[in-house]
Amino acid sequence: MTSARIRPAHGGDAPIIHDLQLACWNEAYIDHVPRSAFTQLEEKGLAHWQNILVEPEGVWIAHRDGQAVGFARAIAAGPGQVRPLELEKLYVLESEYGKGTAHNLLTMAIGDAPCQIWVADYNKRAQKFYAKAGFSYDGSEDARMEAPNVPGIMLHRMIR
């Protein structure tokens, strides 16, 4: 099987990434995330991506057979964080599971840099994926938090 083609995102990709994020959420989170979070993403997600993609550095999009199948976004973590880089988002469609697309997006977005990521406590698939990529749970006091804008979902910081 050939790899999905990965390229840097650009301003015109906002609708594509927004739709892709909604599709990935519907596949992976429908049983875990409250409907209100989906509604918020549907209503505000496109504008959010349009804002981000004004200067799209750190955003990568994967295509297979002309269709968007995944994306990733890495950002500077900011002062006081345990790592200088944060993998803020990494989503691939279920049809891409096991095909290397998530791994390739991870590599494009962060390479082998020290990094942090927040993973939902229920998302065992993601936890295993990141552990395989060299991440481990950060045992510090502030390494657990409730997801912003998604009440009841607890996140755990993983670092490498």
pLDDT at residue 123, rounded to an integer: 93
Q: Is the pLDDT of residue 32 over 90?
A: no
User: What's this model's pTM, rounded to 2 decimal places?
Assistant: 0.92
Q: Please give the tally of structural domains in the chain.
A: 1
pLDDT at residue 37, rounded to an integer: 83
| Closest alpha carbon to 55 in 6, 14, 5, 110 | 14
CB-based burial of residue 143 (10 Å sphere; 0-12 exposed, 13-18 middle, 19+ buried)?
A: middle
Q: Is the pLDDT of residue 8 over 90?
A: yes
Cα separation, 80 vs 115, whole angstroms: 14
pLDDT at residue 24, rounded to an integer: 92
Provide the residue range defining the domain that includes 117. 5-159
| Closest alpha carbon to 106 in 82, 127, 90, 129 | 90
pLDDT at residue 40, rounded to an integer: 85
- The residues near 138 (Cβ < 8 Å, ≥ 6 apart) are 82, 116, 156, 157, 158, 159
pLDDT one-digit tens code per residue, 81-127: 999 999 999 999 999 999 999 999 999 999 999 999 999 999 999 99
- At residue 94's C-alpha, the angle toward residues 40 and 48, to 5°, is 25
| Closest alpha carbon to 13 in 64, 52, 65 | 52
Confidence at 41, pLDDT banded by 50, 70, 90? confident
Q: CATH number, domain at 96?
A: 3.40.630.30
pLDDT at residue 104, rounded to an integer: 97
Number of neighbouring beta carbons within 10 Å of residue 94: 12
pLDDT one-digit tens code per residue, 144-154: 999 887 878 89
